[in-house]
Structure 1
Amino acid sequence: MRKLLPVFLILIFTSTFIGCDKEKVNDLNKTQKITLKLWHIWAQKSQDNNSIIIEDVINKWNKDNPNVQIEVESVESEKYKTKLKTASATNELPDIFYSWGGGFSEPMIDSGRVLALNKFLDKDIINKLNDNMLDNVTSKNKVYGLPLTFSVGTFYLNEKLFNEANIKIPNNYEELLEAVKAFRNRGITPLLVGEQDKWTGMLYYDILALREGGIEQCKKALSSSDNSNLYLKTAQRLKRLVDLGAFDEFSLKAMRDESELLFKQGKVPMYYTGNWLAGEIQADNSPIKDKVIVKAFPLINKGSEGEDEFLGGAADFMMVNSETKYKKEAVKALEYLCKNISDRYYEFGSGLPAWKYTGDETNVNKLSKQLRNLTASGKYLLYWDIYLGEEKGNKHKELVYKLFQKKISPEEFANEMKNLEEKH
């Protein structure tokens, strides 16, 4: 027994030390700090209040979660698309990344680059979302992202300019043409577009197409079934606006942020863009605060049919890289960021809430509330560049750009759009 005792003691001590080492390892795991890399498109802090909101929400997360820190990289929208596409192709996506839904994100989802979130999301999270917010990011019953906001194409009108000129606010296309002529006669540029950012002009074409044919006819045309000549009719309507001088030479040659200053300074009466502009319009230092209203884009016919149809929908999402080492942590951060950014965007005026808003409505931007009431029973068609996906979407934007520049006829435009669908 004497010979066995030392061995027995050695085993006891060894086991004790091994146990201590395991506890230390577990303690280290519990306190291990990780960094999640996140990419988004809001890069201009001095010009884009959305970036400030996102920064605030991320800073709050980092403060409350010292062991899971988020590190941000931001790139302007059009450059970001190239960066994201390249990173997906080379399997170099960050842990969390912004992406558009619909046809844009489809190739990344199909390639397996995006994490399916189903097993990470409980019913409590799903119940916090407004209805249909996941439609544009669901494939084969799997959810691949969470929404940041709800985007709506918005028609802004400077009531002060209309009243001063004694011009009727248009409710249909013919009245829109009359308003364009009336403002032109007074030496005022009627409509704004920063067409060097080609998506800005695309919005005008797409809303005119929606007014011309409605959601279902637009979808048929975009699926190679343009039997009603929707492309041609819409191109002719846009050409008429351009020919009447609805847009000035500067805004046709300027970037969106450059030309947008004209509307913000109260020099242009009408502007069709996204609801993300409402916050800047109603900012305390805005020259046009409380002078602007939002309404449905003018109808083609004088009746009310189609007034509840809008461009937009849940288009802005955050997604998780399927190859991240920290899936649970990334999804938890995703939930926090998307819900809080949705609330803050709604309050400021950068978008309608994708998540059920439980805050104080007195904190909400006046134009956001107007738009929420206007779209209460709304039906939505995604912006065409997102609906079509990047390659076809870019071609569509380029063709609309040529219409604005008068480098292509409506007939040529329609044929190119039909060829675009037939080739893919």
Structure 2
Amino acid sequence: MGRFKKLLVIGVALLLVLSMGACSSSGTNPSSSSSSNNSSASNSSDSSGSGEKITLTYWNIYTSDPLKTKVKEMLDKWNQDNPNIQIEQSITENDAYKTKIKAAIAANEAPDIIQSWCGGFSKPFVDAGKILALDDYLSDGTKDQVLPGAFDNITYNGKIYGLTYSGQASVLFVNRDIFSKYNVQVPTTFNDLINVIKTFKSNGVTPFALGNKDEWPGMWYYDLLAVREGGVQLCRDALNSKASFEDPAFIRAAQKLQEMVDAGAFAPGFMGLSRDEATAQFCQGNVAMYFGGNFDGAAFEKEGSGVKGKVDAYRFPVIEDGKGDPTEYIGGGANALLVNANTKHKDEAVKAAKYLAKQLSNAQYITAGGLPSWKYDDVDPSQVDPLEVQIMKNIVEGAKDSVAAWDLYLEGNDAQTHKDLVAQLFAKQITPEEYAKQMQEKINASK
């Protein structure tokens, strides 16, 4: 009996070993399961219905509300609806993010989904082969869901590299109470504008609030005047070194800018004011006009603003003999989501990026953070600030074309060169001809 018991114990032990070996080969080992999932997920267009689980990383700049909360809500909904394709976000303040994402892309450590800016900011990433071209992923009806021109500022060498989700538009903001008080009509031509400036000036009213310490707010004036003089296509050609900045249209635009300065369009000391100081000045209710981006409107409509509910949005006046279409504007797609070319989950990342871009487009429109790039039929108009609705209807809808603000379109040092030269025009430190010559020599001649 003793020998039998020993044989029985040995037999049970062998069965346990064999059983454990069978469990190990069944795929429940965490390391082998993870490897298998990553491999198959990268070749799947949708893993949500299978047993494979992946995590996509997404970096953005939304550190404060209301967008911080809205982004969390849209991510929570995605993660609930797609248990096998989870999105994890990392949030970084705007300026720090720009440094962070450049370093991460250079080191091949970028996230799967990248928040970026259109034009010159994203172009170096594309040129380096670090961003996925999306054309093959957009034939599923995506192009029908976006507004006209949504991809223009994120298209390089004929290919689309991002999903824009918010746009910009140049706006002439008018304080209707001041215009009514002095019985002044909103100008529709540049000559009208000069006369309006002189009228307000003679009555002790500052015509325009502008803070040009930061340079880019004043740059918007020149860029729009160039669009009015030469048209969007000429501007785009010059920015792409296919036309010269010494074209007469760019010189005339510089002349028009200095004509505004000479007419007294801006308050004394405007070159030393910041953009925030200028918007605060307009919000006091004592300035007739403000020219800038749609994003400036949020300050005018906030609680405590002296112009809340008193501001209307118009197109900048046309130049009588200018070649630009009257509907053209500075702006278009400004923010976009890019997909890392090295992601292991291309199909899933694109799918998630489409979802995020659509939701972000709606969220930015509702919060006045940016104009939508996607069709917004599902947005309740009562949720949108009336000034934003005006901007969409009076400026964006029906526009023939647009071009991004030049500091977004140009890259690095070229963007700064342009801003510096326009600031010198404002200060009357250079002539229009000198401006055009330096733009051509410093930006286009070296290309």
TM-score, normalization by structure 1: 0.85
Structure 2 residue ranges without an equivalent (≥5): 1-6, 38-50, 81-85
Structure 1 residue 25, shift from structure 2 partner? 6.1
**1:315-358 deviation digits (Å, cap 9, x = unpaired):** 22122333455655544443333211211222233333211212
* AA partner of residue 343 (structure 1): N
Cα separation, 2, equivalents of 1:397 and 1:37: 32
1:417 partnered with 2:436: no
Cα 1:74/1:176, change in 2 over 3 Å: same
Equivalent in the alignment of 1:48: none
Structure 1 residue 296, shift from structure 2 partner? 1.0
Cα 1:177/1:142, change in 2 over 3 Å: closer
**1:111-149 deviation digits (Å, cap 9, x = unpaired):** 022233456667154443223322322345543211121
Cα separation, 2, equivalents of 1:389 and 1:31: 41
Equivalent in the alignment of 2:28: 22
Q: Among 169, 190, 196, which residue is 2:186 paired with?
A: 169
3-state SS in 1 of match to 2:184? coil
The aligned runs of 1:39-54 (5 Å cut-off) are 39-40=60-61, 45=64, 52-54=66-68
1:368 partnered with 2:388: yes
Structure 1 residue 366, shift from structure 2 partner? 1.4
Cα separation, 2, equivalents of 1:280 and 1:208: 25
Equivalent in the alignment of 2:375: 356
Alignment size in residue pairs: 414
- Structure 1 window deviating more from structure 2 (219-228 vs 395-404): it is 219-228
Equivalent in the alignment of 2:59: 38
Contact 1:221 1:227 in 2 (8 A): no
Contact 2:169 2:329 in 1 (8 A): yes
3-state SS in 2 of match to 1:248? coil
Cα 1:355/1:295, change in 2 over 3 Å: same
Cα separation, 1, equivalents of 2:185 and 2:439: 35
Cα separation, 1, equivalents of 2:416 and 2:104: 19
* AA partner of residue 58 (structure 1): K
* AA partner of residue 369 (structure 1): V
1:57 partnered with 2:71: yes
Q: Among 337, 349, 361, which residue is 1:318 paired with?
A: 337
Structure 1 residue 368, shift from structure 2 partner? 2.2
Structure 1 residue 399, shift from structure 2 partner? 0.5
The aligned runs of 1:20-169 (5 Å cut-off) are 20=26, 22=28, 34=55, 36-40=57-61, 45=64, 52-62=66-76, 65=79, 67-76=86-95, 81-118=98-135, 123-140=140-157, 142-169=159-186
1:342 partnered with 2:364: no
Cα separation, 1, equivalents of 2:430 and 2:108: 39
1:255 partnered with 2:269: no
3-state SS in 1 of match to 2:336? strand
1:386 partnered with 2:412: no
3-state SS in 2 of match to 1:123? coil
Cα separation, 1, equivalents of 2:222 and 2:215: 11
Equivalent in the alignment of 1:13: 19
**1:294-329 deviation digits (Å, cap 9, x = unpaired):** 111011118997221111111221223334556555
TM-score, normalization by structure 2: 0.81
- Structure 1 window deviating more from structure 2 (273-282 vs 394-403): it is 273-282
Cα 1:129/1:56, change in 2 over 3 Å: same
Equivalent in the alignment of 2:4: none
3-state SS in 2 of match to 1:345? helix
Contact 2:174 2:311 in 1 (8 A): yes
* AA partner of residue 53 (structure 1): L
**Percent identity among equivalent residues?**
34
Cα separation, 2, equivalents of 1:140 and 1:252: 38
Rg bigger for which structure?
Answer: 2
* AA partner of residue 370 (structure 1): Q
Cα separation, 1, equivalents of 2:255 and 2:117: 30
Cα 1:312/1:345, change in 2 over 3 Å: same
- Structure 1 window deviating more from structure 2 (15-24 vs 359-368): it is 15-24
Contact 2:154 2:161 in 1 (8 A): yes
Contact 1:98 1:316 in 2 (8 A): yes
Cα 1:192/1:98, change in 2 over 3 Å: farther
* AA partner of residue 57 (structure 2): L
